[in-house]
Amino acid sequence: MDQNAKKQAVAKAAIDYVEQDSIVGVGTGSTVNFFIEELGKIKHKIEGAVSSSEASTEKLKALGIEVFELNDVSNLSVYIDGADEVTEHKHMIKGGGAALTREKIVAGVAKTFVCIVDDSKRVPVLGNFPLPVEVIPMARSFVARELVKLGGDPEYRQGVVTDNGNVILDVHNLDILNPRELEQAINNIPGVVTNGIFALRGADIVLSATDEGVKTFK
Ligand code: 5RP
């Protein structure tokens, strides 16, 4: 099975976690784009969605799914999103698509975070994928120097401005053995909006598409 077929399979499987008449938290990325297509097929069964990016909002609206402002929604039963890496502890690196901050906010509201990946994303230790860090533009160089002190090798993601008007540093060569501690330490650097480690609030369920079908990790 090729990677797109796996993304499609896991997106279909995620529909089982969508509750009738609910507002669904929707992530960002190519895997989630397949999920949005599936959501479009059952749009009459849901009230709408809260989106984690302008890109997903556009796709949801194009399918006729109502998109609510997060400030107008007090709870979400489920948040469905992809990941760049995920461990057996359901800790993740996210932000390959630069949507990490809004993703972390919507994930924080949701009761259940369902992470949808193909099996290439499952790793023993986080850090092979460069860790995205969203930074206030004026703090870019300072934050980069602080990230070097933490053992990383930050690279400015040229030409990318996040939906929040900020920039992204991708941090190479981090061996993330203590994801919760590192998530906190990076977030404590002045000028960091958030970083792409999702460990303090990891996933509750990981659905991973393999050649043998979709596997569920709870
Ligand atoms: C976007 C993300 C995505 O979930 C992550 O990059 C995975 O994307 P894809 O499904 O395209 O591999 O965190 O900010």
Q: Supply the residue whose CA is at minimum distance from atom 10 of ligand 1.
A: 31
Rg (CA), the chain: 17
Q: Over the stretch 71-117, which tens digit does the pLDDT of each residue have?
A: 999 999 999 999 999 999 999 999 999 999 999 999 999 999 999 99
pLDDT at 68: 98
Ligand 1 atom closest to Cα of 27? 4
Please check whether residues 33 and 90 belong to one and the same domain.
yes
152 pLDDT more than 90: yes
Return the structure tokens found at 112.
Answer: 């259940």
Q: In Å, what is the CA distance from 210 to each residue of 57, 91, 143, 152? A: 29, 19, 38, 32
Q: Are residues 177 and 203 in the same domain?
A: no
**What's the mean pLDDT in 37-42?**
97
Reading the block at residue 30, the tokens are 């190519």
Residue 206 confidence (pLDDT): 98
Same domain, 34 and 142: no
Q: Do residue 143 and residue 170 come from a single domain?
A: yes
Pair 49, 23: CB distance under 8 Å: yes
Beta bridge partners of 115: 81, 206
- Specify whether 135 is located in the same domain as 55: no
At residue 199, the 3 state secondary structure works out as coil
pLDDT at 201: 97
In which residue are the tokens 């979709």 written?
A: 214
103 as an active site residue: the answer is: yes
Pocket lining for ligand 1, CB < 6 angstroms: 27-31, 81-84, 94-100, 103
* Centre of ligand 1 from the C-alpha of residue 143, in Å: 23
Asked if pLDDT for residue 1 goes beyond 90, the answer is no
Amino acid (one-letter) located at 192: V
Which residues are CB-contacts of 62 (< 8 A; sequence separation ≥ 6)?
Answer: none
Phi-psi label, residue 165: left if phi above 0, alpha if psi -120 to 50, beta otherwise: left
Q: How many CB atoms lie within 10 A of CB 138?
A: 9
Q: pTM for this one?
A: 0.95
8 and 70 part of one domain: yes
Q: What's the whole-number mean pLDDT along residues 38-55?
A: 97
Same domain, 13 and 101: yes
Calculate how far, in angstroms, residue 163's C-alpha sits from the geometric centre of ligand 1. Answer: 15
Looking up residue 175, the CATH number of its domain turns out to be 3.30.70.260
Among residues 87, 160, 159, the alpha carbon closest in space to that of 121 is found at: 87
**In this structure, what CATH number is given to the domain that contains residue 89?**
3.40.50.1360
70 DSSP assignment: G
Number of domains making up the chain: 2
158: Cβ–Cβ under 8 A, 6 or more apart, which residues?
none
Counting from 1 in the atom list of ligand 1, the atom nearest the Cα of 29 is 11
85 and 176 assigned to the same domain: no
Name the β-bridge partners of 114. 80, 205
Domain that holds residue 53: 1-121+198-215
Cα(26)–Cα(16) distance, rounded to whole angstroms?
14
Single out the catalytic residue among 85, 103, 134, 183: 103
Helix segments in 1-99, DSSP class H: 3-14, 30-41, 54-62
